[in-house]
Chains A and B, each alone.
Chain A
Amino acid sequence: GAVVSQHPSRVICKSGTSVKIECRSLDFQATTMFWYRQFPKQSLMLMATSNEGSKATYEQGVEKDKFLINHASLTLSTLTVTSAHPEDSSFYICSASPERNIQYFGAGTRLSVL
């Protein structure tokens, strides 16, 4: 399957810090990438759709000023959690689709805000 790289895999930071997460498609170009969040023992929740060259589309209830998404190229999307607080602690996962709506996921980033 296609390879999606996500970095970093683990972040521990103090409250108020901004955290940047990168998502790269390694062997294909992705016009669209997706960002999900998953709390313990819960299913994946789509946060936003990242569109190359244009603004991201956010799901209802997701603060766009809190979760900044930049999709500068066909292989890279970044999610920045601004002024992170303990309630933002979660597992953040990106995905990208090379074909026919099949999504491949990055390894995820576990964010812990102290």
Chain B
Amino acid sequence: QKEVEQNSGPLSVPEGAIASLNCTYSDRVSQSFFWYRQYSGKSPELIMSIYSNGDKEDGRFTAQLNKASQYVSLLIRDSQPSDSATYLCAGLNAGNMLTFGGGTRLMVKP
């Protein structure tokens, strides 16, 4: 099993809808998780970090961590075409190194 797994997508949502991105992780990954957004041809940009069980909100973004089920999610409310990008989920492994999922491509259609 990969340390961090994501559905590659693409996930297509209409403008204004809620986009839900999911990520699961293995026992080899610790309790620190991060969501990055990567536009095509660009480097990743940190959106949110989450360390504790539950929800963390920042503007239109909400990260959710469920340690019992070993999943992390990112909700994007009022999705905009400019949100179209690849979203990378990452967690820290036993070596304290950031390990990335393969990314989910999000397409927000006007």
* Chain A interface (Cβ < 8 Å from any Cβ of B): 1, 6, 34, 42-44, 46, 49, 91, 93, 95, 100-108, 110
Contact = CB atoms under 8 A, between A and B. Distances in A.
B75 interface: no
Contacts of B100: 43-44
Given A100-B32, A101-B32, A101-B92, A46 B46 contact: no
- Chain B contact-residue range equals 20 to 34
Given A42-B102, A107-B43, A108-B43, 8 more contacts: A43-B103, A44-B88, A93-B43, A101-B32, A104-B46, A106-B43, A107-B42, A108-B42
Contacts, number: 45
Tell me the interface secondary structure of chain B in the complex: strand
Contacts of B88: 43-44
Which secondary structure characterizes the binding site on chain A? Answer: strand
B44 interface: yes
Contacts of A110: 41
Contact of B97 (A1, A42, A49, A93): A49
Given A43-B88, A43-B103, A44-B88, A101 B43 contact: no
Interface of B: 32, 34, 36, 41-46, 49, 88, 92, 96-103
